[in-house]
Structure 1
Amino acid sequence: MGKIAIIGYHEVPTQINPERTRWDIAEEVIMGAVKNAGIDKDDVQGFINVAPQAQPDLISATAFGLLPEHFGFKNVKDNVICNAGGASTTNCVRMAEQWITSGMCEVVLVPHITVQSDIPAEDLITFFAKAPMHQEWEFPFGMTFNGAMALITQRYMHETNSTEEEVAAITHALRDWGSRDPYSLFHNKPKTTAEVMGARMISTPLKSVECNMLADGGGCLVIASEEYAKKHCQNPVWKLGHGSDFLGGTPVVREDIFWREGYRKSCSEALAQANLTVEDIDIHEIYGAYPFTQASYLEANGICEPGEGARYHAEGHTKLGGKTPCTTIGDATGRGHTGSGVSMAFYCQVARQLRGEAGANQVEGAEKVMMVTSGGSGMNTLATVWGN
């Protein structure tokens, strides 16, 4: 395989700001990423768009080529849209790699834009209840996204003898990261474990702050070939290895209830391609949207003993300064949920960390990052190792 690299990125803060239009965000992130890469916009030869959720007009605009046309990109060979839920950004990057290694392009833009605050709350609730749930066997019985993840969390607590307080400590750790991140919806708003425990119950055992707050945001990556990156970029962020595993689209019938096997298989494959071990990874960026995924990931990769993931968080190991820095943007619960674009925020953070640009959340000496995404209600686990 040929190498690819992130040579530029740009992101807007995750906010609730309906006055900021989708095209406003698109202009900032697209032109900002081009500027960050230090290239001319006409060096870009492809657009691979992360599909926005619950926004049909924007889906049409991005799918049918209005972004490169509107912003005057003259040398684009093709424009597509990719929807795999929260795994969309990873799939966009994989498609960019295919375009580049096939010789079709040298430089590909991967943008994402979301504004959810101007969508009626009832419509958003209905969309995110139906989208990840089986329309015949789950949704008709009152199952929602929060409900499904709460049931899995309850089962996780039962099987591991983890307490609600230990699970709440995961969200405390995520909000700790988010509170120092100026791009987070929860900047300067940390939550103690006690405050998480005292929040309003949504679906036992998940409290309101352990679920996702829908918000607005956007980001963009510039992906380039090895030759182009070495010639035009002083600090490229290299893709070193990748792995994937499919768990299934319907939560109620999955055998891998806690995603452990998916995490193990995908991460093992990515590490093998990169010729690394899990001990070589400096930061683990885990997009799972709900707290139990953070614990499952650690257990699956042998970072802690099986069943000890929540307690590992409660002991403080995953926070800044801990021995296993995890999810340094705070995941969706510590940053805000921008539809399928939460994973875009993760990729921007990977670039920040490996370039030493993560500010108050910078992990000192970070050279290798494991980036993991999942789509839908957790249909897959996609793991990618990045290095500087």
Structure 2
Amino acid sequence: MNIILFETDQRNCLLPLCYTRPVALLRTGILTILEKWKMRLSGNYSFKTVPYLKEKFPLRVENDNLLVSSHFCPTDQLVEAIAQLGFFQGIKYQGFPLAVRLPEEDAKMYPQVSTTIQWSDFAGELDLVRYVWDLNTVCESQIRLDFNLLTRGRKSVTPSPTNQIIAPENVFIEEGAKVECSVINASSGPVYIGKDAEIMEGSLVRGPFAMSEHAVLNMGTKVYGPVSIGPHCKVGGEVSHSILLGYSNKGHDGFLGHSILGEWCNIGAGTNVSNLKNSYDKVKVWSYPENKFIRTGLQFCGLIMGDHSKVGINTMFNTGTVVGVGCNVYGAGFPRQFVPSFSAGGGQGYKVQQLKSVFETAAQVMARRKSVFTDADQRLLTTIFEQSEVYRKF
């Protein structure tokens, strides 16, 4: 089956994380949204996304296509309903188009199609990702669902006797993972430790918690779930209710709470993030489509950071701060609560972070993880630089 993961204009509420990727490559729980679909519904997957992302994430259309919304996390019940769809039949959830089956030309033109679609409503419960902070809101339920999906019918590696583990039946360790002299409490939620991941000595982990392949918890790390750490991340200090999409480092002491970091980010030693206002009021966060701060309805919300951004030592972030792509944040005082993409500076002012500098740093950082910063990556960041210029009013 040819499966196309499509997006709506709601993707703009998922910036800056979706500046550099389709919605389906966002992570919540253990897996990305794409990985969740692949594990439940076999087929050839591609993306119907914004034009400038198509070079890296091309669209594939065939005679028979199943279009599925990237904004929904799948369940077994949903997949069963989708499998019953015929041509020009679709499913909605709370008024949002969820899935539709279309022939080639209509799939290319969707949502404009040649024939009226017969819609039915999905009656089950689903996790919907409309805003960036939704990734954290649904993370706990998604860790539980992904844990069951990944471990069903499988047996965990036996943990080392040097560890103290509470509720070991809720802990799953993949082959090649190293866990020594740590305390893991899975009584409040499952703990998943990916292939070749490592939890160093003295770490304290309370589930729900997930770390992907080659991720590392440095010595003495304290984790309060739900927390999801993507592949090749290094984490230290204190972390609570946060997601690292992958290939990012917060390796030192300091607090990260109710936050989401993109890929290829680095958080300097001693950096702290406020996730609760002194007044205990609900948090406002910058909205790209509305070009202003909007109410989240959340009492807890920390830092949201786009790809390739870096933070100097001892930086302090206010509640609900949004940092764009390719930023370099440093200096005394609190940075603004909205730092536009390709900004350099902090509480004492900003200047433009030039593309050449971003390219040089990205190439070095990615090489350390045996990845290549390609010409396509340069073109992508150049487009984002141009699109985000409107926000850089220094």
TM range (shorter): under 0.3
Higher share of residues assigned strand: 2
Structure with bigger gyration radius: 2
Q: TM-score, normalised by structure 2?
A: 0.23
Which structure is higher in RCO with an 8 Å CA cutoff and minimum separation 6? 1
Q: TM-score, normalised by structure 1?
A: 0.23
